Amino acid sequence: MEISEAAVLANIASVRRLVDPATVLMGVVKADAYGHGLVSFSRLLVRHGVEQLAVAHAEEAFRLRDAGIDAPVLVLNHAPTADLPGLLRAGIRQAVYGEAQARAVSRAARALGCPARIHVKVDTGLSRFGFSSGNLAPLARIAALDNVVVEGFHTHLASAEEDVADRQLSLFDDACRRATGLLGYRPTRHALASAAIAAGLHGRAPLEMVRPGILLCGLPPSYTASDVPGDAGRFQPVLSMTSRIEQIRSVAAGTRIGYGAAHVTSAPATIAIVPVGFADGLPRALADSGRVIVARRYAPIVGPVGMGHLTLDVTGIPGVSTGDEVVLLGSDGHRRLGIQDWAAAAGTINTDVLVRLASAAPRVVRPLSEVIEQECYV
Ligand SMILES: *Cc1c(COP(=O)(O)O)cnc(C)c1O
């Protein structure tokens, strides 16, 4: 798998164009940076000016610090008490949803003699984590806890659709005003994730920080779109995946292919075997319906997707030989395959497919310098 630094750069710039210039970007890199590789993807974000990062679990925050990434990191989920000293020592921020959680954070910070920077989360209609935006009395008690600094105040939208988002944002706006009154200062406010940023909602809610995830990967936040809506080609998929043809065989009509022997060739065929399968994250639903790119042509997947192999019908493609590159995600000439094609085949959303990409498989970063050089030579 390859990660394009040029695409990361383009996506950061495109997000910046959708928000006020002074807006702080908090890149959401949970779930192994949506399958892009937590550390390598985060490094690229930080290198190109993304000021802060957010992860779901304490473990991910520790991995970032171990890799030498020292940007502010927010843990979105409730961290186990045992992890709090480590998080606090590393200056990692914690999203706080409840008073008991806040007290545990305060105790740990007091024991270490350091501040605990927290981002208080309010629920404005997603009905998930958070204090109710209607009752902020707990906020005053939390702010009074030893060693606790309420650095941020945030909510999460259920939808970027106008009526839902508008209602949530006006509740949030009101909650922010009351929170500022209670605290005596205004914490960093943030609410918008990719769908709302792409929908241009930052104009409606120009808060200090936004939390894009999938947009930084260059992929659409919508459930069904194959491109980021209204992007005019400015968002570029960051991840591509290639493999090589391991073996080619000519088979007669009536040959059964793969486990289950369900696929039977209807004519003599040239079959190519590729060492990639569902253990690498390919949806099994691509069996007999998906396709890849070989020699700038689409080649259908025939038979099942195995754990570590898949079979292609390359009958119509001239000059294919062992060792040739197979593009599973990415483009070759005018042909293009996106994670959206996989998601559609599997009847699911792009992020569901992305998080199944084998985390152990190396993500090679194609650096900017290489792209610039290539452009100079053509
Ligand atoms: C996942 C997540 C995001 C990022 O969502 P995208 O749609 O990928 O931009 C932002 N905020 C919170 C709280 C999240 O859990």
The DSSP H or E segment spanning 149 is strand 148-154
Please choose from 24, 30, 77, 211 the residue to mutate so as to test ligand 1's pocket, defined by most ligand atoms within 8 A of CB: 211
pLDDT tens column, 304-332 = 999 999 999 999 999 999 999 999 999 99
Task: Give the pLDDT score at 162.
Answer: 84
Q: What's phi and psi for 286, nearest 5 deg?
A: -75, -10
Instruction: Give the Cα separation of 314 and 295 in Å (integer).
Output: 10
Q: Give catalytic status of residue 30 as yes or no.
A: yes
Catalytic choice (121, 259, 298, 377): 259
Closest ligand 1 atom to residue 211 Cα is 10
Pick the residue whose CA is nearest to atom 7 on ligand 1.
194
In the predicted structure, residue 377 carries a pLDDT above the cut 50: no
Residue found under tokens 């809610």: 205
Considering the entire predicted model, what is its pTM? 0.94
Q: Is 76 in the pocket of ligand 1 (CB under 6 A)?
A: yes
Q: Is residue 213 in contact with ligand 1, taking CB distance under 6 Å? A: yes
Determine the residue of 11, 25, 28 to mutate for testing ligand 1's pocket, defined as the one with the most ligand atoms within 8 A of the Cβ atom: 28
User: Tokens 């204090």 label which residue?
Assistant: 131
For the record, the structure tokens of 87 come out as 């998080």
Distance 156 CA to ligand 1 centre (A): 8
DSSP letters spanning 13-74: HHHHHHS-TTPEEEEE-HHHHHTT-HHHHHHHHHHTT--EEEESSHHHHHHHHHTT--S-EE
Question: What is the mean predicted confidence (pLDDT) over 26-44?
Answer: 97
121 is catalytic: no
Burial code (b: 16+ CB inside 10 Å, e: under 16) for 351-361 equals: bebbebbbeee
What are 85-120's pLDDT values in tens digits?
999 999 999 999 999 999 999 999 999 999 999 999
User: For the segment 136-178, what is each residue's pLDDT rounded down to a tens digit?
Assistant: 999 999 999 999 999 999 999 998 888 889 999 999 999 999 9
Spatial CB neighbours of 100, under 8 Å, sequence gap ≥ 6: none
Q: Has residue 214 got a pLDDT over 90?
A: yes
CB 95 within 8 A of CB 119: yes
Side-chain half-sphere exposure of 118, counting CA atoms within 13 A? 31
